[in-house]
Amino acid sequence: MKIRFLMTGVLGLVATATFAQKGELNNAQTEFDKYETSRGNKVTASIAATSIVAAKTSIDKAAVNEKTANLPQTQALKGAIYSSLAVQDSVPATSAPLFATAEEAVKKAKELDTKGENKKLIDHANVNLAQYQLSKGVKSYQDKDYKSAYKAFDYYRTVLPEDTNAIYYTGLAAANANMLPEAITNYNKLLTTNYSGKERVYTDLSSLYLMNKDTVGALKVVSDGVAKYPTNADFRRREVEIYLQTGRQKEVTDKINAAIANDPKNKSLYYYGGLTYSTAAESAAKDLKTAKDPAAKATAQKSKEENYAKAAEMYKKALEIDPNYFEANLNLGYVLINPAIDLYNAANKLPANQQKAYDAAVAKAGAQFDLAKPYLLKAVELNPKSYDALNNLKTYYLGKKDAAHAAEIQKQIDALK
């Protein structure tokens, strides 16, 4: 009987010890639940602060006891508690160890929780870990440490793969870190989501492809952008520019002319046509500056003049449909004033003993300036705060040697700053 009594006493001691550790685990859960229900409220903030400390004390005891250390709940709860502490700690020196402990506990919890009974706790801890990395990424981004920001944001994105902000931040940090493949991957992912800023994504993604020297990818993205947002003039402009950069002027011109044939009353199509020709003219102007032999100069000059003339025709057709089309007025004024500037500059290069030739050249330049004037004035009327419109009009007055009006326009430009 004594032996039997002794054995019963030993078993009782073991059961009590196990129960004690189970009690710590239960207490950790209770205190953590209390923390969750009271945090974020000014009235109960002190309760939350006390509860999370108590939860940590209990989970630390349960996590080192051989009876409870390897229970899925212990590790899941430890991950949730430590990740909560890490998120609310703004000091990297103390929050980093909390994060590392939480991350390790979550890893163990996933391995141990084969039945998924603690999924809610594990998910909760993961969200906290993601939030921690998000804050870390924002700080790194503000410090212009873009590679570290990318690493932190990518962690955040991995935990929350469908979070569109997570994808965007990761792509943005990668782009700033010049990690072009990673940036392109994330921006492409954004286009498959319901992200509200998709219109901007098309623009940014086309730029990333161009930076990565992938004109095919850039053209595809911007063409997709044109199809999705047909009223976005920047997309069409970029499409035209990329076509021209790749030496495919005829292709883009044919594309726009075919669209005009199907929709002849669409003012935007004429505007894009004008944009195509004016961009080609500017390209020819660059060739003219670098050309060395007379034949190359003559070819570039002819291309420049012909394309400006065709651009003017297109813009005029757009204005026949809508006389108040700001962009068409602005660009038509520009393509008409450009030849005038060339004539004016050529006149001023004439020798002093060629006064007659100078007067004739200035008169010809003046007549060309006057062709642009109505459109320059109209553009300013439609948008008096447009720097481009004001600057073009100022150029007109300078070309006409009207210093008073040029100074007046300069005051308007200065007022924009």
Alpha helices in 65-114 (DSSP H): 72-88, 92-112
Q: Domain map of the chain by residue range?
A: 18-143
- pLDDT band for position 297 (cuts 50, 70, 90): confident
Judged by average pLDDT, the poorest of 102-106, 250-254, 294-298, 377-381 is 250-254
Q: How many percent of the chain have pLDDT more than 90?
A: 60
User: What pLDDT was estimated at residue 308?
Assistant: 92
Per-residue pLDDT of 1-26, as tens digits, reads 343 333 334 334 343 444 445 788 99
| pLDDT at residue 268, as a whole number | 85
Report, as an integer, the average pLDDT of 105-114: 94
User: Average pLDDT in the 41-56 region?
Assistant: 86
Q: What is the pLDDT of residues 69-88, one digit of tens each?
A: 999 999 999 999 999 999 99
The pLDDT confidence band at residue 276, using thresholds 50, 70 and 90, is: confident
The length of the chain, given as a count of residues: 417
Cβ atoms of 133 and 154 closer than 8 Å:
no
pLDDT in tens, 339-397: 888 888 888 888 888 888 888 888 898 899 999 999 999 999 999 999 999 999 999 99
Listed in sequence order, the DSSP H helices in 143-214 are 146-159, 164-176, 180-190, 198-211
CB-CB contact of 328 with 267 (8 Å): yes
Q: Is the pLDDT of residue 310 over 80?
A: yes
Between residues 241 and 343, the one the model is more confident about = 343
Q: Which amino acid is at 144?
A: K
pLDDT of residue 365: 86
Confidence of residue 272 (pLDDT cuts 50, 70, 90): confident
Is pLDDT at 165 greater than 80 in this prediction?
Answer: yes
pLDDT in tens, 130-162: 999 999 999 999 999 999 999 999 999 999 999
pLDDT at residue 47 is higher than 60: yes
Threshold 0.75, pTM exceeds = no
- Confidence class for position 329, pLDDT limits 50, 70, 90: very high
Between vectors from CA 290 to CA 289 and to CA 296, what angle results, nearest 5°? 95
Inform me whether the pLDDT recorded for 223 exceeds 80.
yes
Amino acid 173: pLDDT:
97
Q: Which residues of 276-314 are buried (b: 16+ CB within 10 A; e: fewer)?
A: bbbbbbbbbbebbeebeeeeeeeebbebbeebbebbbeb
Helix-strand-coil split of the chain, %, nearest 5 = 80, 0, 20
